Amino acid sequence: MRQLFKIGFEFKRNLILPSICENIISDVAKLDIVNLDTRVDILNSEVRIWRAERYFPSVKKLLTDEFLEPYEELFGQKFSFCIYNEVSPGTIGSGGGWHRDTRFKDQYKILIYLTDCESRAEGCFEYIPKSHTKLNLYRLLTFSELFGKPRFKLLTNILNFLGQDLGGKKGDAIFVNTTGIHKGNSVSIGKRKAITLYFDNGVKFD
């Protein structure tokens, strides 16, 4: 996992089987997500279901101690929760554009594609390499919005040029330090479905 610490992300093929992806999608389809006893964000082109490990049997079955412990040791952080994410065609992708999840304290997550997502049109994840490091020009952007979650709207065109696409097939995963600048691209083909495993660094999430 040298790349993760050097450039802020690492891609891993076939972290989970395609059949597990299909089981998770099937579990979601069976539930009335509007009336779930958990936080559900229903946005213009995105649905997020928080604490998916509590409500979807296939997610709970996947996230055993045996599965999670190597990553907890790698990150030095305990698993906190899982979000199921579904993005439909629209003008804004997952996360609402370029942003950091945290500014100063490393925070790790694992994004696992549940559907094939190999292009920007399918909403692939995108990251600015090395934007997580402490000594670079990107670090100056952490002070650009001191009282809100940083979203870099004025710099969109520049960041679009610098970003690296991280598309993959169902079951592929991206290990990422979300102190770095990243986004999910807007979708124009199909729906992008994924789960994201968050690891706890003591930061409260919005």
pTM, two decimals, is 0.88
Q: What is the pLDDT of residues 60-81, one digit of tens each?
A: 999 999 999 999 999 999 999 9
Bigger pLDDT: 43 vs 48: 48
Q: What is the pLDDT of residues 3-31, one digit of tens each?
A: 999 999 999 999 999 999 999 999 999 98
CA distance 154 to 18: 39
Based on C-alpha coordinates, what's the Rg of the chain? 16
Element of type H or E holding 183: strand 182-184
Nearest to 195 by CA among 49, 84, 101: 84
